[in-house]
Amino acid sequence: MRSVVCERLASLTRVRTLDVTDTVDIKVDSDDMDVSNPVITSSLSSTSSAAPALIPAGPITSSVERLLASINDLLERRLRSDAELRHQTDMNQQMMNEWMIAAAVLDRICFIVFSITFVFASLVFALLFLFHP
């Protein structure tokens, strides 16, 4: 139904449609994160790899690792929520554009029907007035 109103009737009534691009689902991986601090980057790569011999044991290192892991989790959550928000905004914009096209088509159809009815009624009244004794 949506394609009939938005595409076919829009072309028949010569309503200009907006060029809407399709949205793509955005999936965020931990590789896509932009972490500019080299200390955090090296710590994140060392905590994600399975090399416990490279990291000295101790309470300071484990608390730093926990903080870095929590920062990493927060960054991942933020990137996922931003991607989801961007995707939702794109979908809302696309739906709004489709509704605007449907409204323009409906408006044009109502205008055509009103014009035809008005012209027909005017002709009928004119003919009745002319041929009425």
The answer to whether the beta carbons of residues 75 and 33 sit under 8 Å apart is yes
Least confident window among 3-17, 75-89, 116-130: 3-17
The answer to whether the beta carbons of residues 30 and 85 sit under 8 Å apart is no
Mean pLDDT of 100-124: 96
Q: At what angle do helices 38-48 and 59-131 cross, to 10 degrees?
A: 100
**What digits encode the pLDDT tens for the residues 81-103?**
999 999 999 999 999 999 999 99
Residue type (1 letter), 132: H
- 48 pLDDT more than 50: no
